[in-house]
Amino acid sequence: MVINRSLVIDLSSRKYFINNPEKSMTKLLDEILSIEISTRINSQATKCFDNAYQAALAIEGTIYVQGFLVVSGIPDQAIEYSWIELGDQIIDPTFPHLGLTAENLYYFPAQSLSLKQIQVIIEESKEDYPLDNPLPVYGDLPYEYYGDLMLGGKDYQTAYLLALDKCQELNPPP
């Protein structure tokens, strides 16, 4: 188990806990709902951010989440990724395209946005940067660098480092 300020992640499972008694929760991937929403929104294999946004539009009460995905068997790679959450469930509309089971996937949240928040950000991004894809979003400056990537702030750094730790745990050096 890794403990980092407000986020506690049980690295032996696909669970994470918010270290706050009022917000304590466990989230697991709902494979069936992920497949159903993927079909409903006609998700695309390489568009996890767009898929998550479309899924958030399609399912009332969900939260759009950006963070990192770690896949068992892929060493040293935390994949920047997006999914939605509904209550205590992770719904991943890109899941069917991965060709994997939930047991091989580990989600590390960095940023959660309500539907209203993500819609406002997308509209502002389209106005300010009409030639750029508005997703993913990163919040306020300053941004941090992780390797050669510039991502979000400290929440991204925490999620990224936890995801890298999981990569190393799953794929120890020979």
Maximum CA pair distance of the chain? 50
Residue 19 has pLDDT above 50, yes or no: no
Average pLDDT, integer, range 127-150: 67
Which of 62, 114, 121 has the alpha carbon at shortest distance from 88? Answer: 62
Question: What integer best gives the mean pLDDT of the chain?
Answer: 80
pTM: 0.79
Residues contacting residue 21 through CB under 8 Å, at least 6 positions apart: none
**pLDDT at residue 86 in the model:** 96
DSSP string of 90-112? EE-TTHHHHT--GGGEEEEEEEE
CA pair distance 66, 58, nearest whole angstrom: 18
